[in-house]
Structure 1
Amino acid sequence: MKRPPKPIAEDAGWIPDEFEGERHFVTALARGLEILRCFRKGELGLTNADFAERTGLPKATVSRLTFTLTKLGYLTLSPDSGRYRLGAGVLSLGYSMLSGLDIRTRARPLLQELATAADASVALGARDRLAMVYLECARGPGTVTLSLDVGSRVTLGTSAMGRALLAALPDGERDYLLRAMKDRMPDAYPRIVEGVERAREEIAAQGFCTSFGDWQADVNAVGVAILNDEGAPIFGLNCGAPAFKLSQERLMQEFGPRLVEIAAILGRGTV
């Protein structure tokens, strides 16, 4: 699959090289799914030219893919503007995925209790390529500036929950993801590596890691990975708020340890 030398979108157009030539890998299906990944939060619609730029696919291929996805209900086309939006079929898939996650139900009261105590945003997330996707969120009574919700994405290498998950991964898998970040985000890569190494040290020492101004300059957060019964990281948790509302000291002394306790509870009985 052709990819641009300097990808435009972090998540579109990234099909690992080892999949190319794999006998059971259906490239046409992969390309169609890459089209759906091109959309970013707040965009009103994309044209075929936008899809081609973000995926590196030929425009003729993009036109066939968008036509097919529209017929299947995964895209809708505005005849006046020539722009595509995500269709109801995508929402149906996402809802089916979320409704099958028992951990969301178990996590909800625990997250809300911590969010209320810290007056912060607390979230459960899972890795999707080079990002963490929020699966469940809770907010404190005064938290209005962090508007992330279910489905929001935060960067894997700079967010607290992303770093926690990376730190808990086996060396080979972590190195693979770091190489992918180096390829797609070369300017940010040194800072990402430094943050992940610091996260490994912090987790070894205290069970959770920090992201103080790394994901966003004015946001303090702590993160931890949820491990299943076999010790494999499967989800991430974070607790964060604007720096003027929640100090580093309180996160380190009070809410980081509570996040570790929640992760231990949620990890029990999972596979």
Structure 2
Amino acid sequence: MNRWKALTPEAADPQFASTAAQGIDVLGAFRPGEPSLRNRDIAERTGIPRPTVARLAATLIRLGYLRRDPAQKGRYLLGFGLLTLAHPLLASMQIRQMARPLLTQLAREINGAASLVIRDGIDMLYVETARANESLRAHPDIGSTLPMLATAAGRAWLSGASAREREDVLNSLRVKAPEQYAGSIKGAQRALRDFGRLGYCGSDREWRAHSYGFAVPMRQPVNSQLFVFNCGLPAEAGSFQDLARAVPPRLAALVRGLEEMLGLGRDNRHASHG
């Protein structure tokens, strides 16, 4: 997506560097399962003219954020310099290190996947994950994304966010992802209504036809970031109703236990832990 064009107020700001935004868009054009792209592919996905893509790519190669595909002329691969950029952010999230053994244990107990996710724009982003069942056809990995409205993780974030944040994200989805919004808003609204009664959000094969999802948000942000804990299970593991009785209580216990470890109380709305 061409973010700098979509962000009209920012793009009109004299302090907004559109060239930098375009460079980020070039990097954002790469998707899992498609390791290399051509100028044409990037131009089609971002809306940036091909000559501009070529100039940006040449700069990104020199900086180590892109590299030329040695096996296919005229194609680019992501550069390893991106890992250097991402590492300080991931390393600064103390909650990841604290959650990792808990997620691993839970994944084994439910014979599925357990993950820690955050919001990234109109998507949800994995920042930690553990998987104990190789029959899961959806393989969560750090850095991969989930859609907001059709997934348990996205619905849980919406349930835990402030009314203003929730409305801002829903408005952005309506404008930037109209197909996702039209196809999933009713299910998301139903999950939001049920959250107060259930204490979790679920997705009954609404994102992936072969997977169930359950998610619980933390009761308050950590360093201004609302974290969500998510479980994924293959549909062949049993009925959604049976799993909904077994999995969310374990997931909620994990979240409450971690909140206690972090010293987060119900009324401590401005805690600042890493």
Mapping for residues 23-172 of structure 1, pairs under 5 Å:
23-78=14-69, 80-140=72-132, 143-172=135-164
Q: How many residues align?
A: 260
Taking every aligned residue pair, what percent have the same amino acid on both sides? Answer: 34
Aligned to 2:230: 238
Cα pair 2:118 2:225 within 8 Å, conserved? no
CA 169–109 in structure 1, closer or farther in 2 if over 3 Å, else same: same
Deviates more, 1:32-41 or 1:231-240: 231-240
User: Do the aligned residues in 2 keep the contact of 1:220 with 1:243 (CA within 8 Å)?
Assistant: yes
In the alignment, the residues of structure 2 paired with residue 71 and residue 232 of structure 1 have an alpha-carbon distance, to the nearest angstrom, of: 35
Tell me the secondary structure at the aligned position of residue 50 of structure 1: helix
C-alpha deviation, 1:205, in angstroms: 0.7
CA contact (8 A) 2:123 2:147 kept: yes
| Contact 2:160–2:218 under 8 Å retained in 1 | no
Matched, 1:222 2:214: yes
State the TM-score, normalized to the length of structure 1: 0.87
Task: Please identify which structure carries the higher helix content.
Answer: 2
Unaligned runs of 5+ in 1: 1-11
Tell me the distance in 1 between the aligned counterparts of 2:89 and 2:107.
25
Cα distance, 1:170 vs structure 2: 2.3
TM-score of the two chains, using structure 2 as the length reference: 0.86
Q: What residue in structure 2 maps to residue 193 of structure 1?
A: 185
Distance 1:34 1:142, change over 3 A: closer
CA contact (8 A) 1:219 1:241 kept: yes
Residue 253 of structure 1 corresponds to: 245
Cα deviation digits, residues 13-48 of structure 1 (max 9, x gap) = 134222122233222211111111110001131111
Query: Which residue identity does 2:114 align to in structure 1?
Result: V
- Are the structure 2 counterparts of residues 172 and 17 from structure 1 closer, same or farther at C-alpha, using a change threshold of 3 Å? farther
Aligned residue number for residue 7 of structure 1: none
Aligned mates of 2:53, 2:156 — CA distance in 1: 37
Number of the residue aligned with 2:3: 14
CA distance in 1, matches of 2:105, 2:242: 16
State the superposition RMSD in angstroms. Answer: 2.2
